[in-house]
């Protein structure tokens, strides 16, 4: 994975003004575009698309020193008009290209990323790999925005709007793993961009051939392999730390990669005020292939 990410950064540098072919880089290293994008965003702390934009605008800033036409510079860096280029430039640098030509800055430089292997992972992760037949997630779904750290207010409001009796009803419908009430995130942006929309479902897992209900939303999950991570501690901090550690520690050290599908959190035990909890994080995975 470190090699694949390094080659991806090198590919970006060599083709800054072109359409980025992430899928080709992924195939060359026996992985998928989905997994490569997710690992990049988790390790770099920004979506791949944002990194590309920052690098383009960093290089473009140097081109502005001179009398070359703005449209020529815009096209060189992948933009079809000076207006689109100016918007992207100002979003990165906080200043218009014309102002840079007059005053020389200030500019915000994005250095080229370098991924290095460091010795970490001294704390073992409680993980199991299981194969599951197709199953069905049923419950109440809502479109919410992705939040990386801390509680998600939209999800909290969604759950709070459900009557207490509905939580009990849903729990009674659970008849397969993952057990109990579940927190499901589906249709997540592959770049894992904070603020992007996803589908959140508060519900339970049922067997794949179980009947549906007119008042409940359904996500059908195909058969596949899952990596299950158990975590305990302050909620949601311990869970979010474990989620981040899957990218920094677990995936680079194991022959597995993420595959498209929902991520699922099963709350096994919790304090009355939900300040602490024991959870299982279910991530859909498949074996990494050698290039």
List the chain pLDDT tens, one digit each, 291 residues. 778 888 899 998 888 878 888 898 888 888 899 998 988 888 888 889 889 888 988 888 888 877 788 898 888 888 889 898 898 888 888 888 888 887 776 788 888 888 775 545 445 678 999 999 999 999 999 999 988 777 789 999 999 999 999 999 999 999 999 998 999 999 988 888 888 899 999 999 999 889 989 999 999 999 999 999 999 898 888 888 888 888 878 887 788 899 999 999 998 888 888 889 999 999 999 988 765
Global pTM value? 0.74
Q: Which residues contact 158 (CB under 8 A, 6 or more apart)?
A: 140, 142, 144, 200, 202
**Nearest-10 crossing angle of helices 33-44, 2-14:** 90
pLDDT of residue 101: 80
pLDDT of residue 122: 47
Q: Which of 197, 34, 211, 48 minimizes the C-alpha distance to 138?
A: 211
pLDDT of residue 291: 55
The three-class DSSP label of residue 265 is: strand
CA 246 to chain centre: 12
Q: What is the rounded distance in angstroms from the CA atom of residue 23 to the CA atom of residue 49?
A: 14
Q: Are strands 276-287 and 127-132 parallel, antiparallel or unpaired?
A: unpaired
pLDDT of residue 113: 85
Helix (H) or strand (E) holding 216: none
Q: Which residues contact 276 (CB under 8 A, 6 or more apart)?
A: 232, 233, 234, 235, 238, 270
Q: What is the rounded distance in angstroms from the CA atom of residue 109 to the CA atom of residue 264?
A: 37
DSSP notation for 158-211 = HHHTS-HHHHHHHHHH--SSSPSSEEEEES--TT--TT-EEEEEEEEEEETTPP
Degrees to nearest 5, angle at CA 227 with 221 and 231:
115
Q: Which of 193, 256, 221 minimizes the C-alpha distance to 133?
A: 221
The encoded tokens of residue 52 equal 């590309």
């Amino acid at each position: 994975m470190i090699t694949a990410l390094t080659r991806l950064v090198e590919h970006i540098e060599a083709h800054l003004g072109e359409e980025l072919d992430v899928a080709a880089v992924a195939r060359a290293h026996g992985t998928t575009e989905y997994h490569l994008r997710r690992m990049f965003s988790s390790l770099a702390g920004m979506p791949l698309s944002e990194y590309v934009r920052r690098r383009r605008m960093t290089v473009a800033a140097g081109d502005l020193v001179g009398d070359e036409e703005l449209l020529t510079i815009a096209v060189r860096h992948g933009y079809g008009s000076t207006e689109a280029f100016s918007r992207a430039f100002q979003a990165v640098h906080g200043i218009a290209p014309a102002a840079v030509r007059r005053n020389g800055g200030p500019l915000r430089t994005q250095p080229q990323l370098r991924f290095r292997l460091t010795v970490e992972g001294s704390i073992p992760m409680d993980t199991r790999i299981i194969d599951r037949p197709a199953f069905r997630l049923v419950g109440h779904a809502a479109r919410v925005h992705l939040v990386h750290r801390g509680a998600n207010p939209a999800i909290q409001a969604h759950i709070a709007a459900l009557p207490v009796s509905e939580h009990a009803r849903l729990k009674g419908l659970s008849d397969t793993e993952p057990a109990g009430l579940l927190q499901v995130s589906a249709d997540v942006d592959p770049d894992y961009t904070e603020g992007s929309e996803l589908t959140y479902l508060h519900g339970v897992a049922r067997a794949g051939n179980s009947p549906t209900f007119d008042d409940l939303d359904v996500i059908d999950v195909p058969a596949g392999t899952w990596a299950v991570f158990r975590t305990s501690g302050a909620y949601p901090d311990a869970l979010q730390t474990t989620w981040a550690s899957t990218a920094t520690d677990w995936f680079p050290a194991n022959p597995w990669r993420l595959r498209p599908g929902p991520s699922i959190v099963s709350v096994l035990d919790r304090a009355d005020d939900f300040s602490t909890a024991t959870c299982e994080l279910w991530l859909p995975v498949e074996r990494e292939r050698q290039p």
